[in-house]
A = this chain, B = another copy of it.
């Protein structure tokens, strides 16, 4: 595949790609919330702090309907750069990949049929444990059930997430697990100082690196849910974890509950792997010898500044954008040029119809 680069376990990358080429894919979007996102400066996933709680359900609605119901516009940064769900939507549409939305603690319910877990939003990790014991175990249990069901309906389950502030909880979880992780963000001048301060502060309440304790103390509801999904789904089908540092945190935790690593790949954009404020490939290497598929969406070639900005470090990944591009390429043989064109059409449609 000319537009997908292999990293990590290269041999497994080849096997993975060969096993799912032209096969059926199912895209699942796990939406969630952590009050950690309310810390000023942490996220720009939402044009103002009042809107952040709508970002995840609105991403889900956009993927589903092509427009949002919970908010008028699509989720954007304060200066008008659109959600990466725009890329995900084009990719899924172009290759007729079905979508299911899983509500794992979103503060607002999406206005579409979704898989309900009953999970509550996560707490601000600087003030509290991210998750109480019951929610944590519930998330893993329900994740396992959902993973088993979805994997039995496809050849390759793609798992993406939408969770504002999620890179901070991901960073905290990885640090808590002893992984030397720098972390990517939807903000181009990654607020490294702020995040490090929050994480260091949040980790003070931990007195050991037991993975269950770490995720409860400084994690969010998405991490144990997706880890549960990964654990059961990888026994049945291929699983493409679609995302950057947040999926790295999922993988890091999932090691403690188990998964079938031959069936697992992480798929993301080159904007994540090229991000020098983070160290994505090294993080994954520290966790497991696993397949990493990296796609170049070539958004720097776009005529639209709003799309070009992704390649310049804004919202480099999210809503499963990278993995959905990879899935579209593998299922339908599409290339970056074609997918860029479709994303531009999507962009034009949205910004001329509003």
Contacts and interface: CB of A to CB of B under 8 A. Distances in A.
Interface of A: 26, 64, 96, 98-100, 102-103, 109, 112-118, 142, 145-146, 149, 152-154
Contacts of A117: 113
A142 B116 contact: no
Contacts of A154: 153
B142 A98 contact: no
A119 to B, nearest CB: 10
A113 B115 contact: yes
Contacts of A112: 142, 145
B118 A109 contact: yes
B152 A98 contact: yes
Nearest to A145: B113
A69 to B, nearest CB: 11
A324 to B, nearest CB: 16
This protein's copies in its complex: 2
Most chain B CB inside 10 Å of its own CB: which residue of A102, A114, A149: A149
A100 B26 CA distance: 15
A113 B232 CA distance: 14
A145 B98 CA distance: 11
Contacts of A26: 153
Contacts of A99: 149
A113 B113 contact: no
A102 B115 CA distance: 9
A116 B152 CA distance: 20
A115 to B, nearest CB: 5
Minimum-distance CB pairs A-B, first 9: A116-B116, A153-B153, A98-B152, A113-B146, A113-B142, A113-B145, A113-B115, A98-B149, A113-B117
A117 B103 CA distance: 12
A114 B115 contact: yes
Nearest to A143: B113
A206 to B, nearest CB: 30
Most chain B CB inside 10 Å of its own CB: which residue of A99, A113, A114: A113
Given A113-B115, A115-B115, A115-B116, 17 more contacts: A64-B145, A96-B152, A98-B149, A98-B153, A99-B149, A100-B149, A102-B113, A109-B116, A112-B145, A113-B116, A113-B117, A113-B142, A113-B146, A113-B149, A114-B115, A116-B116, A153-B153
A146 B101 CA distance: 11
Nearest to A26: B153
A111 to B, nearest CB: 8
Contacts of A113: 102, 115-117, 142, 145-146, 149
A251 B260 CA distance: 44
Most chain B CB inside 10 Å of its own CB: which residue of A103, A112, A154: A112
Most chain B CB inside 10 Å of its own CB: which residue of A98, A109, A142: A98
Contacts of A116: 103, 109, 113-116
Contacts of A114: 115-116
A183 B152 CA distance: 37
A96 B114 CA distance: 24
Most chain B CB inside 10 Å of its own CB: which residue of A100, A103, A146: A100
A75 B111 CA distance: 32
